[in-house]
Structure 1
Amino acid sequence: MGATEATETDPLPELSDAARALAARCEPRVNELARRMSQGAFERLRGYDRLPSDVKDVEIAATARHGLRLFLDRVGGGEGAHPAGDYDYFRERAAQRAEEGMPLHLLLGTHTLGAHVLWRALRDAARPGEEGALAELSDYLFGAQQRIVTAVTETYLDEQTAIAAERREERRSLARALLAGAGGGGVEGPVLVLCLRFPPGSVPAPSPTPAPVAARRLVRRLQAALDRAFGAEVLTLVDGGGGHALVPGHTDAPDELPALLRELREICGPGLRLAAARAERPADIAEAARTTTEIVRVARACGRPPGLHRLDDVLLEFHLSRTGAGSERIAALLEPVAERPELTETLRTYLEAGQDRRATARRLSLHPNTVDNRLTRVAALTGIDLTTPHGTALALAALLLRMRTE
């Protein structure tokens, strides 16, 4: 049973005739009390003075009048006079206030202060000997107020959740369109395009948590960190394995990206890879996104550790990995060692280590002679002479082109 269901269906206290008679004396003051709430008591609430005058003088005043009449009608006619649906009015107003961006504390403050104004009116109307009747009405008022506050809070939060989800989907749709090269959607000027990639194992979630839930949590935290870092709403299209982020109006700032990487690594884990490119205009975003994706792919293919990757860092490898006439033939050079992962890994590590056999041996925890034997075997099977600059470049290009299709 939910909180709203419990408070709306549990019966309110029974009232004596004396309590009903005391409440009835306040009925002629409904309009006066509503004005006192909207134009007096609520002015003490932080932020109330910034609300539009029509909201304060019309809508909030109308809500106050409705609450007063609802209370007095229920007191006068008993619980059966108004069903639980009477709270629909408060729910509608709460949804409207959430849509307008009114803070929840301010909305709830109007309800709690309104109850206080009504209680003071009941107290002032009480005559000597009606202390018991006033106590009954106090219990009744606080019980009814709990129901209203619960209904208002739940509706407000539900509406805010729906608005946030709608806003997130709008941002995702815009990011999807921009990355596909379709329209600017109001985005103008240069755009910083980020590519983020991390392995599924880096998703920080306890083992009992379902993977989709952990991925959604990761995406939400990532979005918040990006928005905070750039001081604006960043357009993202990211899932549990990574994706792209678009920052309108920003450029590739070398001093900022390392700091951003450190913050994002705390969220996504140490396996995060990040690349950035500048799109001069929205029409260039799709190409910039492809470039960042390729930078990350090439960096990973070359054995570079996770981190921030720039085009200048992998410029030669990036160029060698471009497809064109002859690409298939170059990639096919390594076909003889395709089923020998230890040979392929040794070759890749050897190239990444700058053709240093001892450094290669250390990285692979092998004896240098084992590295030599494996490289000799690669040369014998592929026909590539790894002792010449031409052969080294050819092997590197073949590796990059093969990993492009894997």
Structure 2
Amino acid sequence: MTYIEEPEGSVPGLSPGARKLAARCEPQVNELARRMARGAFENLGGYAELPADVKDVEIAATARHAMRLFLRSAVRGPRPSDDGLETFQTRAAQRAEEGMPLQLLLRTYCMGTRELWRELRTLSEPGEEGALVELGDALFAVQDRVVGAVTESYLDEQSALAAEQRERRRSLAQALLDGTAHPERSLADGPALVVFMHLGGGSGGPGGRSPVTVRRLVRRIQAALDRAFGTEALTLLDGAGGHAIAPGCTAVPDQLPELLREIAGPDTRLGACAVTEAGDIPRAAHMVGEVVRIAQACGRPAGLHLLDDVLLEYHLSRPNEGSDRIAALLAPLAGRPELVETLRTHLAQRQDRRVTARLLNLHPNSVDNRLTRIMELTGLDLGAPRDAALALAALALGATA
């Protein structure tokens, strides 16, 4: 057997025959790249819609670089100036920023590998089967490394872009809710719907959710809002709830309350108010938060709450010179949450003792006993319209919620 010295720096493990076949293919790289750009790539779904400069320059150039880098390394071994995977990682990040789908990007790499493999097969001669197998193994091993690096770089860039987008939306939402200036405030100028959400606690309540659970919850709520409103909602949310602004919308979609209950629990509440311009958002945001708080304090069932639903309670709850004295009427019930809940439910159910008993899982006589105790402690006669209104106002002020 004749010993043939391997060139310095060649790829370890490749036989001289494999290097010879790679050298025969190397001059075909430019033509092969042109054929792929004009033929094979055009058959990929979504490729035709890409900008011309991306197709004709970026993707074709990347394919040409990948083939030449592989063949050159196979023939002469990697040089100190070779950038390895860096070029592919950089261009993957660019494709992510441009919005090119990841599956399309990866298919261009896989198709480039397949076309190069076909060219190697075409150029191989009888007796070079072993060399062809060697190059095939090396080629597909390189493809694994490239696809892995490209995917990681693409997803990292996409994640960074998504984080920037979330922060931009959050910053704009904060500025709109505060009434402060923001460079992109004009994006939300005009009619909009302002929503406040108080999320159901589920097991452990909002405060008991882990940071991971909260992030997942917020992402799911954001997706539900975007889907229901058909636009990117601007949100300022945490594990307990928060505000959302839906530009261009004037009413809560019918499916939204149910979507939020499925995501955050059956106790989820939301209030909403339409505004005609961005300057009205701070006032509306405060108002819808108050509407939800009052509805909860007065025993309204969870769900969607509008101002008209609690119009009297909202009016009674506005702070004035008599607010502290009204709130103090229920001070004797402090430490007796079962009495407060009974009063709240009884007033919400129009003082129907049987409905109150059913909702609280009590006997009607037990409800009567609790109501009697409430009247003894507070001095209020709940059968009198004036005293019932005072009790409702005290609940609305939230002093004993």
Partners of 1:301 and 1:310 lie apart in 2 by 15
Native 8 Å contact 1:34 1:65 kept in 2: yes
> Does residue 59 of the first structure (1) align with residue 58 of the second (2)?
yes
What secondary structure sits across from 1:237 in the alignment?
strand
> CA deviation digits over 1:110-149, x for unaligned, max 9?
1111112212222222222212211211111111111111
Native 8 Å contact 1:202 1:268 kept in 2: no
Q: 2:347 is matched with which residue: 345, 351, 357?
A: 351
Partners of 2:99 and 2:392 lie apart in 1 by 56
Shift of 1:312: 1.4
Q: 1:135 is matched with which residue: 118, 133, 136?
A: 133
Aligned pairs (5 A) from 1:329-340 = 329-340=325-336
What secondary structure sits across from 1:74 in the alignment?
helix
Shift of 1:243: 1.2
Partners of 2:173 and 2:204 lie apart in 1 by 23
Structure 1 residues 23 and 277, CA gap change in structure 2 (3 angstroms): same
* Deviation larger for 18-27 or 193-202: 193-202
* Unmatched segments (≥5 aa) in structure 1: 1-10
> CA deviation digits over 1:329-363, x for unaligned, max 9?
21122223323333333322322221233433443
Shift of 1:384: 2.7
- Structure 2 counterpart of 1:384: 380
> CA deviation digits over 1:365-390, x for unaligned, max 9?
44545444443443343333323211
Native 8 Å contact 1:204 1:267 kept in 2: no
- Structure 2 counterpart of 1:3: none
Partners of 1:192 and 1:345 lie apart in 2 by 32
Partners of 1:105 and 1:362 lie apart in 2 by 56
Q: How many residues align structurally?
A: 388
Structure 1 residues 141 and 366, CA gap change in structure 2 (3 angstroms): closer
Partners of 1:23 and 1:247 lie apart in 2 by 59
Partners of 1:94 and 1:385 lie apart in 2 by 74
* Deviation larger for 302-311 or 371-380: 371-380
Native 8 Å contact 2:200 2:264 kept in 1: no
Shift of 1:203: 8.4
- Structure 1 counterpart of 2:202: 201
- Structure 1 counterpart of 2:96: 98
Native 8 Å contact 1:203 1:268 kept in 2: no
Partners of 1:263 and 1:117 lie apart in 2 by 48
- Structure 2 counterpart of 1:219: 218
Shift of 1:185: 4.4
Native 8 Å contact 1:73 1:81 kept in 2: no
% identical equivalent positions: 61
What secondary structure sits across from 1:48 in the alignment?
coil
Aligned pairs (5 A) from 1:134-283 = 134-183=132-181, 184-201=185-202, 211-252=210-251, 256-257=253-254, 259-283=255-279
Matched to 1:100, the amino acid is: E
Native 8 Å contact 1:68 1:118 kept in 2: yes
Partners of 2:14 and 2:169 lie apart in 1 by 54
Native 8 Å contact 2:25 2:119 kept in 1: yes
Shift of 1:13: 6.6
TM-score by structure 2 length? 0.89
- Structure 2 counterpart of 1:25: 24
Shift of 1:283: 0.9
* Deviation larger for 62-71 or 28-37: 28-37
Partners of 1:318 and 1:374 lie apart in 2 by 26
Matched to 2:34, the amino acid is: R
- Structure 2 counterpart of 1:71: 70
Matched to 1:308, the amino acid is: L
> Does residue 360 of the first structure (1) align with residue 361 of the second (2)?
no
Partners of 2:320 and 2:179 lie apart in 1 by 23
Partners of 2:209 and 2:22 lie apart in 1 by 55
Shift of 1:323: 0.7
Partners of 1:304 and 1:390 lie apart in 2 by 21
What secondary structure sits across from 1:245 in the alignment?
strand
Structure 1 residues 336 and 42, CA gap change in structure 2 (3 angstroms): same
What secondary structure sits across from 2:246 in the alignment?
strand
Native 8 Å contact 2:209 2:239 kept in 1: no
* Unmatched segments (≥5 aa) in structure 2: 1-9
Structure 1 residues 302 and 17, CA gap change in structure 2 (3 angstroms): same
